[in-house]
Chain A
């Protein structure tokens, strides 16, 4: 007979992707000369990314559905409430070579726990940096052949949104709002969506975590 506590030793795999369309509400993010707003475009991108992920069998959770602007912590809280999830925040930059895409993982953070064994919220990303790097490199690896001029590997940056996220987490930034025609950006969406979905699928076998109550992820 199975122990009622046997669930404590079960392994859980990656099955949820939390998508974060950056900015929103009163914060439009980067703005282009042609009236392009980052907050609007990322929401459109997310629709395609979501569809691509669902085709790969992932459940998708979004940090915002419409034109609202949750705080950094609220967005992280959405991700941190999941088990077996990865986090992807989507951005459009103001600069950079148009038509390129960069993946970022958080810069190094010291792994610390307070005296109660709790992970400080402010450094929730710290235990996941290795996983985030692996996930980021995979996604960048699928993006670079499609978007010439993009880096070969994920970059490190102190991205605020990633720091409080207790899951493998990456930021994907598309260049840029300076394109003359918004259609140039729209044409990138299917490629970006496919690369993220393929990256998540490739990352899935690597991400096996203990499902122990009270332990993250």
Chain B
């Protein structure tokens, strides 16, 4: 009986070793292949990203307002004026000012966006809605918290507002996807109001931006003004619709 169990045990071990010998090289090849594919796609993406924004030397150098964190007042933004050759094309111009914002100040304390974050793509729809697609680092490297996330989005929003008058609203994507929050707090499911002024052709970016102190507001094309001091719901609300549940 004992020898019979020994035989079975040895047989089982031999089968396991043979299976491992066959399967492990396959698994290794698959892992290597997956890693190579990921590396290739990252390299490809990086190459595409690092292609310099075309700067036309003929473009006039204009004073551009970029919003960084204040070094004197906690958790507020201040405009910093830099001279840049800016395109008249609103999409190219938006990329130029956002890349300048991402490049950021030397002093890390004044940064509003992570240094490794990249602008992957930028689109401008005819109705003035801009779609800015950032790399994952914007979400993963930003300090978590309402104040830091709000500062990041506000710096993007206000930099666009000050320099690209065609942009009315802003939608932020992370790596091509809509995400629920930036880093656990700030809502990215809607659009942020950039400017309530009707779209207009580019003007001197040094012009005073309208509504520069407005807080970011998602999903609000033209939010209704709320009566100050209202102490009852603005409108008698009806029943609450239930959230859509994803399977």
Question: Does B247 sit within 8 A of A, measured CB to CB?
Answer: no
Stretch at the interface among A45-53, A58-66, A122-130: A122-130
Complex Cα distance A22/B240, Å?
Answer: 23
Contacts of B21 in A (CB 8 A): none
B144-156 near A? 1/0 per residue, CB < 8 Å: 1111101001000
Contacts of A159 in B (CB 8 A): 146, 185-187
Contacts of B216 in A (CB 8 A): 107, 157-158
Contacts of A209 in B (CB 8 A): 232-233
Contacts of A198 in B (CB 8 A): none
Question: Does A171 sit within 8 A of B, measured CB to CB?
Answer: yes
Contact of A30 among B143, B180, B227 (CB under 8 A): B143
Question: Does A217 sit within 8 A of B, measured CB to CB?
Answer: yes
B contact patch SS: loop
Stretch at the interface among A2-10, A139-147, A160-168, A185-193: A160-168
- Nearest CB of A to B234, in Å: 5
The reply to whether A123 and B232 form a contact with Cβ atoms under 8 Å apart is no
With A95-B148, A102-B146, A160-B181 in contact, do A119 and B74 touch (Cβ < 8 Å)?
no
The reply to whether B223 and A127 form a contact with Cβ atoms under 8 Å apart is no
The reply to whether B219 and A109 form a contact with Cβ atoms under 8 Å apart is yes
- Nearest CB of B to A40, in Å: 14
The reply to whether B233 and A131 form a contact with Cβ atoms under 8 Å apart is yes
Contacts of B241 in A (CB 8 A): 114, 118-121
B221-247 near A? 1/0 per residue, CB < 8 Å: 111101111111111111111111000
The reply to whether B233 and A95 form a contact with Cβ atoms under 8 Å apart is no
Question: Does A97 sit within 8 A of B, measured CB to CB?
Answer: yes
The reply to whether A96 and B147 form a contact with Cβ atoms under 8 Å apart is yes
Complex Cα distance A92/B145, Å?
Answer: 7
Contacts of B242 in A (CB 8 A): 121
B186-212 near A? 1/0 per residue, CB < 8 Å: 110110100000000000000000000
- Nearest CB of B to A2, in Å: 24
Question: Does A38 sit within 8 A of B, measured CB to CB?
Answer: yes
Contact of B237 among A94, A114, A127 (CB under 8 A): A127
Question: Does B14 sit within 8 A of A, measured CB to CB?
Answer: no
Complex Cα distance A209/B235, Å?
Answer: 12
The reply to whether B219 and A216 form a contact with Cβ atoms under 8 Å apart is no
- Nearest CB of B to A114, in Å: 7
The reply to whether B146 and A110 form a contact with Cβ atoms under 8 Å apart is no
Contacts of B228 in A (CB 8 A): 130
The reply to whether A163 and B220 form a contact with Cβ atoms under 8 Å apart is no
What bracket does the count of chain A residues touching chain B fall in? 35 or more
The reply to whether B215 and A107 form a contact with Cβ atoms under 8 Å apart is yes
A179-217 near B? 1/0 per residue, CB < 8 Å: 000000000000000000000000000111110001111
- Nearest CB of A to B161, in Å: 15
Question: Does B184 sit within 8 A of A, measured CB to CB?
Answer: yes
Question: Does B100 sit within 8 A of A, measured CB to CB?
Answer: no
Closest B residue to A155 by CB, please name it.
B215
The reply to whether B238 and A118 form a contact with Cβ atoms under 8 Å apart is yes
Question: Does B88 sit within 8 A of A, measured CB to CB?
Answer: no
A76-116 near B? 1/0 per residue, CB < 8 Å: 11001000000000011111110010101001111101101
- Nearest CB of A to B179, in Å: 10
- Nearest CB of B to A185, in Å: 14
Contacts of B147 in A (CB 8 A): 93, 95-96, 102, 173, 175
The reply to whether A207 and B231 form a contact with Cβ atoms under 8 Å apart is yes
A157-B215, A158-B187 given. 17 additional CB < 8 A pairs? A29-B184, A72-B180, A76-B243, A91-B145, A93-B143, A96-B75, A96-B147, A97-B75, A102-B146, A118-B238, A119-B240, A121-B240, A127-B233, A130-B227, A161-B185, A166-B237, A209-B233
Binding site for B on A (CB under 8 A): 22-23, 27, 29-31, 38, 72-73, 76-77, 80, 91-97, 100, 102, 104, 107-111, 113-114, 116-124, 126-131, 133-134, 149, 155-161, 163-164, 166, 171, 173, 175-176, 206-210, 214-217
Q: List 28 contacting pairs A-B, 8 Å CB cutoff, sorted by A.
A: A27-B184, A38-B144, A76-B243, A91-B185, A93-B147, A95-B145, A97-B74, A100-B74, A107-B215, A108-B223, A109-B217, A109-B218, A109-B220, A110-B221, A110-B222, A111-B224, A118-B238, A124-B240, A130-B227, A160-B187, A173-B147, A176-B145, A209-B232, A209-B233, A210-B236, A215-B236, A215-B237, A215-B239
